[in-house]
Amino acid sequence: MNEPKSSKWFFDYLSPFEAHAHGIANIVYSKQTKYQQVEIIDTKSYGRCLVLDGKMQSSGEDEFIYHEALVHPALLTHPDPKKVFVVGGGEGATLREILRHQTVVRVDMVDIDQEVVESCKIHLPQMHQGAFDDPRTDLKFLDARKYLEENKPLYDIIIIDISEPVEEGPAYLLYTREFYQLVLECLNLDGIISLQAGTTSATSLLNFSAVYQTLKSVFPVVTPYQASVPSFGLPWGFALASKRYDPLELGKKEIDKRISQRISGELRYYDGEVHGAQFVLPKHVRARMEREERLIEDNQPLFTYSLT
């Protein structure tokens, strides 16, 4: 028997002309913080979800795809990651995945919006799974860029898990060449960064290709990749950038070996097979990336929905 259609809908606008509609079962939490609108909703298809400024961030049913894709390629490419820095990641799932690595001894997490993190602690326990209380976690509520500029700490891994660069939002100055240069200075010689880079949809490639070219202007090694996260409604792009290590040099057997040696528990998405496949981008995506001339800079930031 077919279930009745939902009477309440959340429209996740992918562009001014396209949206992914989610049937809402319940609105758990909603508040305008100092920095952004935060909503936690129960959806009919994807379970409990975090939404920031009207954009889907994580869903209970498929967040493991996004977070495993964001975290594990970087940490497994590094020979021995011990000290990790997380920018953003308010729901705690990125932190959760990092802490599964037995080599990691400390994770500094900086999120600008304490109200988002506190609401996620209460309403999204299935995502953070107690990661905020792990003794290796040092959580600060600060401007991540300012923190790095003032302290210049050194890390093995830096994970940038922030929302899209919405105009007047808290994240757009964390996509610029100047910020990536600062991140480079805060990495050890073996250092690697990983970040979400926006959709790889054929109609919305500007952000992904501009992030790629901006990273290339700073880092010696830049390796873009993608994953399918169904709740986002579009294929999603990521990038790994390094001072020296190329993840493509690691084969399926080596990745599976490192997973078995380093990671606690069973991964649901990522393994040696996926590792190699995710770096194979379609021809039209590669072509757009290589011809992209746009560099993202402090005085020329890029905002989502700038479709060209």
Other CB atoms within a 10 A radius of the CB of residue 284 amount to: 11
Q: Where do the DSSP E strands lie in the chain?
A: 9-15, 18-32, 37-43, 47-52, 55-59, 83-88, 106-110, 137-140, 155-161, 187-199, 221-228, 235-242
How many residues are present in the chain? 308
User: Helix and strand tally (H, E) in the chain?
Assistant: 10, 12
Residue in 42, 161, 271, 298 annotated catalytic: 161
Alpha carbon distances (Å) from 28 to 24, 38, 49, 149: 10, 11, 10, 37
The terminus-to-terminus CA distance of the chain in angstroms comes to: 44
Catalytic residue at 161?
yes
Token representation of residue 288: 């757009």
In sequence order, the β-bridge partners of residue 19 are 13
Say if strands 37-43 and 55-59 run parallel, antiparallel, or are unpaired.
unpaired
The DSSP output letter for 3 is: P
Contacts of 32 (CB under 8 A, 6+ apart): 38
**At what angle are helices 144-151 and 177-185 packed, to 10 degrees?**
40
Q: Give yes or no for a contact between 199 and 14, defined as CB atoms under 8 angstroms apart.
A: yes
Active-site positions? 161
